[in-house]
Every structure is written in structure tokens, then in C-alpha cells.
Structure 1
Amino acid sequence: MRIGLTGGIGCGKSTAGKCFADLGWRRLDSDEVVRELLATDAELHAKLRERWGDEAVLPECGANRSFIAHKVFHDKGELAWWENQVIPKVRARWQGALAAEPDADWLVEVPLLFERDLAGQFDATICVEAPESTQLARLAAKGLDREQSLARINNQLPVLDKARRADLVLSNAGSFDFLLRQVRRASEMLRSQSPIS
């Protein structure tokens, strides 16, 4: 089974994904793939230098993530260029993983699942949602100020729109135990192939 997991930034996709992994699902986190590409992908580094200059890549640790974030979250044209460089590489990575183990229960975290019209790649989709105030608090805990956080939130489809498009919705506005109970129920439903309503 192939499940696509999405949600807004700061809604807790990774937390939910780890819960699914603890229940035996094979988890692939697109954000982790991006971090790996930023650190190691020489082709991507060359494109970044060509587009934005040497400051875009740091000799000791690969792509300059804070520099790139400043570029793309304040300019929709640069964001579109960036996504067109990275998303095909990420998609190829998870498609290859799924093809290599087609009988496994896969959970793939895809932040832009609906924005990039990827729902058809999966047997079902799940959206993790939380109020914007919760998103902002979680992003602040990661060191982002309100302006930086809103720039990221506003460059994605609104969480409520994602929730409306998803087959299942998990609420992550409460405790971890509340989220875990929802994940367990969703996992049971999906593995039993119960109708999703």
C-alpha cells in the first residue's frame, strides 16, 4: 500500500510519519531527501552557483540553506525555479524506493502533494492539520520569526484546502497521545482496506 502524507508546515507531518513508522510502515520523508540533496548533490550545487552565485553553496557543508530560503520565500519566480530543480529529484527518489519494494506498506511525506498534483501516485492521502497559531508556535520553536513563518505558510496551499482534498485528516492541535490514537486508527483502517469516508 502507498500512502501520501501531507499537511501545512509546522502541522506535524514528521511526527505523524514517525508514528506510522513505529507501527511498521516504511517511511520516506521528502524533506530529509531535500536535506541530503542540499548537502551532497553536485549537479544541484552547480545549478545553484549558476543561478545565485558562489554564496549559494558553502564549501564545508553544501548548499547554503538560509541563503536559499531568503531567495525563494520572498520571490515566487525564484521559488518556482527552485522547486523545479528539487522536486523531480525527490520524486525520482521515492518512486524508485517504492518500485524496489512494491509489496511494502509505504508512507511517503510529501509537503506539496496536492500543489504538485501527486495524489494519483498513492492509494490514499492523509493530511495533518493544525491551527495557524499552532503552526507559528512550532516554527518559532525552530528559530523562525513570524515573518519567516508566514512566508513559508503562505507559499503552500492552505491547510484547510489540503484537508478537504485528503482521504483522511489527522488533527495535531492537541497532545501527542491524541495524534497517536488517530494514527493507530488510520493505520488499522488502511491495512484492513476499510472504505475511507
Structure 2
Amino acid sequence: MLYSSDEYRAYCSMRVGLTGGIGCGKSTAGKCFAELGWQRLDSDEIVRELLTTDPDLHSALRSRWGGGALLSEGGANRSFIAGKVFHDAAELRWWEGQVLPRVRAAWQGALAADPAADWLVEVPLLFEKDLSDSFDVTVCVESPESIQLERLAAKGLDREQSLARINNQMPVMDKVRRANIVLSNPGSFDFLQRQVQRASEMLRQLPPNS
């Protein structure tokens, strides 16, 4: 059967993986894509939901780190977990082994439930965990380290905490070299928004699974 381009796009989705360094503006770029009609999934939001509601994850945290890993009012203690994983490579590996399969299952389930939609999935460790094959196209948001540090400071992290998080990820320039599309975010929202607009237009001209 032959389809027009519009009909073809109605039956086939585009799946875009969005990544970048911490503090580079992935969430801001993701929201810009959502405003253009993309279905957006934020892996960090999925993690926050798991930390609040997943009893199996809570049990694993208690077994590994004791009661301090959980809050008395319910849910996981994010500050406690950050203190464990960002200064100990073995604990970070264990933590990622618990969380990443759950996150991946969540966004794979969402994509399967609406296969005709154009999806934008924010995956901070997309290249670190070799997940690029899950997407048709990869997009990386990059910023200078000085801008990353400013944004993380605005979230309450001191320089040492910020650098620990930055250094636990693949260098941003390595992500840039691996991505199909790069968005530069040195600080101007309008500039980033215009880049997202152009990227969205280009992506929607591509055949799915290209």
C-alpha cells in the first residue's frame, strides 16, 4: 500500500533521544520540543517517581544502605543517596544497576503504548549506557562548564558537589561528537528555542527509522 507523506507520518513515529551534560539545559530543550507537539519523557522525572513510589526499590535501598536511605514520611532520601553515589564508583554502579533498568522499562512502555507519536526522550546517560540504538536520532545539548556550574549553583549545589556530578558523566564534548544533532545553550533561552524549532522541523522531514 502507498501512503502520502502525511499518512506515512501518521503510522510511523520518530523517536529522538535527548542528552547532554548536567546543567546544560536538557529539560529546557525538552520542554521546547513538547511545545512543538512532541511527546516528552524525562528520565529524571521517572527516577523521582520511582524514588517516591517503588516499594521494591525502597527495599533494595534499605538492604544496601540501611534505614537512612529512606525518609520517615515515605520515599527515598535523595540527599543521602547523592552522598553515597557521587563519591564512590562502586556504589554508583550499584545504584545505576537498580535504577536504569526501571527507567528504561518505563519509557519503553510509554513508547509502545503510543507507537504513532513522535517521541522525545531525555536520557542523561544515553551514550554512557549505549542506548543510542533505541532511537532514530540523538540530540545533545551542550554548554560551557562555567554555565553548567552557574546553573547547578542556582539549584543549591556548591562547586565541589557540581564538579562531582559533572565528572561522573561522559565529557560533554564526547557526547557532542557522538550525537546526530547538537544544540548550543550558552545561556540565551531564545537562542535555544530557535535551535529546537529548526531541529524539530528537520526531524519531521526525515523518514522514521532512518
Cα distance, 1:59 vs structure 2: 2.5
Q: Does 1:24 align with 2:56?
A: no
**Where do 1:11-50 residues align within 5 Å?**
11-50=24-63
**Where do 1:151-162 residues align within 5 Å?**
151-162=164-175
Q: Does 1:79 align with 2:92?
A: yes
Of structures 1 and 2, the larger Rg is shown by 2
TM-score by length of 2: 0.91
1:14-68 CA distances to partner (integer Å, 9 max, x unpaired)? 0000000000000000000000000111000000000000000012141000000
Percent identity over paired residues: 77
Aligned to 2:133: 120
> Displaced runs of 4+ in structure 1, greater than 3 A?
none
How many residues align? The count is 194
Higher deviation after alignment, 59-68 or 114-123: 59-68
Aligned-pair Cα RMSD in Å: 0.8
Cα distance, 1:181 vs structure 2: 0.3
**Where do 1:110-149 residues align within 5 Å?**
110-149=123-162
Higher deviation after alignment, 55-64 or 33-42: 55-64
Alignment-mate amino acid for residue 9 of structure 1 = I
Q: Does 1:185 align with 2:198?
A: yes
Cα distance, 1:124 vs structure 2: 0.1
1:143-176 CA distances to partner (integer Å, 9 max, x unpaired)? 0000000000000000000010000000010310
2: CA distance between counterparts of 1:59 and 1:189? Answer: 49
Alignment-mate amino acid for residue 38 of structure 1 = L
In structure 2, runs of 5+ residues without a counterpart are: 1-13
In structure 1, runs of 5+ residues without a counterpart are: none
